[in-house]
A and B are shown apart, each in its own frame.
Chain A
Amino acid sequence: MINNLSAIIYMDGNGLYVWVCLLVLILILGINIYLPSRRLKKIYKENKTNGL
């Protein structure tokens, strides 16, 4: 187990690699959540504009 905050961030010089990976994961998952929501919103807006 990693004990203190600086050790968690630094990880013996490997922290950057680990945190960048986590960032990439969160970013790509975030895009995957955002895109279908945007698509649904767009359909709803189109529907509203067409007055259906």
Chain B
Amino acid sequence: MSRIWNFIKSWTVEMGSPPLFFQWSSKALPWLAIISIIVFSIGMVWGIFYSPTDYKQGDVYRIIYIHVPSAILGQSILMFMAICGFITVVWRVKISGMLIKSAASIGASFTLIALITGSIWGKPTWGTWWVWDARLTSTLILFFIYTAIIGLHSSLDDKTKADRAISILSLVGIAIIPIIKKSVDWWYTLHQPSTFTLSSAPSMAPDMYQPLLVCVLGFYLIFAFLLTMNLRAEIVFREKNKTWVSKQYLNRQKNDK
């Protein structure tokens, strides 16, 4: 057990170093891309083509396989950013600041997908594209938090200060997560109750629920892939004047040509 713990500890410390992360991610990225595309495609094909039609909503419910994983990711990414924010503020680990910056645009994208697909789903089921419902409004606030984080970071030239500022904003912004989660219980909303809960069994049929789980896993893998890509670009951008970047990336690119 202690060997596993020591391995995790040394791996985490190694990944905290931009050159080592860059080296490791060069090897891991193609595999991550392949695995994420496979799992994502299985989930999508299973959900859209092979899951049964809902007796009440018909085929429009298939939007769930895009909307629910996007909404889960939109919230999870902010929690991830808050953890990185805590690490940045307390231990000042350089890469965790870069992680927040890299994750913010992905989080904003998934939240935007959740808002757009939810709106499209709302039209045939509720008869309207948008209502100022508690769940919808709190998710829109989540999107604004992401845009504020992106805007704040790009407005500051000193990247160390920018990292600390967005760390604090992520830690403050996380307050929206329980509000989104509980919005369907605290207020009367048009939005249906949460699809995923830890305390009770799913209300959906297993034929519908299983592809949704695969989709969620696929979306998490896509997030890991996108985050690695973004982080690599951020590392090269910030450390472009350092020798290791010239050796590991820029000169290798020249040799490839």
Contacts and interface: CB of A to CB of B under 8 A. Distances in A.
A44 B246 CA distance: 10
Given A24-B116, A43-B240, A1 B50 contact: yes
Interface in B28-62: 44, 48-53, 58-60, 62
B222 interface: yes
B109 A32 contact: yes
B112 A18 contact: no
Contacts of A21: 63, 66-67, 116-117, 120-121
Contacts of B50: 1
Interface stretch (B2-10, B138-146, B187-195, B229-237): B229-237
A29 B222 contact: yes
Nearest to A10: B59
A6 interface: no
A37 B229 contact: yes
A26 to B, nearest CB: 10
Is the contact region of chain B dominated by helix, strand, or loop, or is it mixed? helix
Interface footprint category on B = 35 or more
A1 B70 CA distance: 24
B212 interface: no
B60 A28 contact: no
B113 interface: yes
Contacts of B76: none
Contacts of B71: none
Interface string A6-34: 00100110110110111011001101110
B124 A17 contact: yes
Contacts of A43: 233, 236-237, 240, 250
Given A8-B49, A44-B250, A2 B63 contact: no
Given A2-B49, A21-B117, A36 B233 contact: yes
A2 B240 CA distance: 52
Interface of B: 44, 48-53, 58-60, 62-63, 66-67, 70, 105-106, 109, 112-113, 116-117, 120-121, 123-124, 222, 226, 229-230, 232-233, 236-237, 240, 246, 249-250, 253-254
Instruction: Give me the 6 closest cross-chain CB pairs, A-B, nearest first.
Output: A11-B59, A14-B60, A36-B233, A39-B233, A36-B229, A21-B117
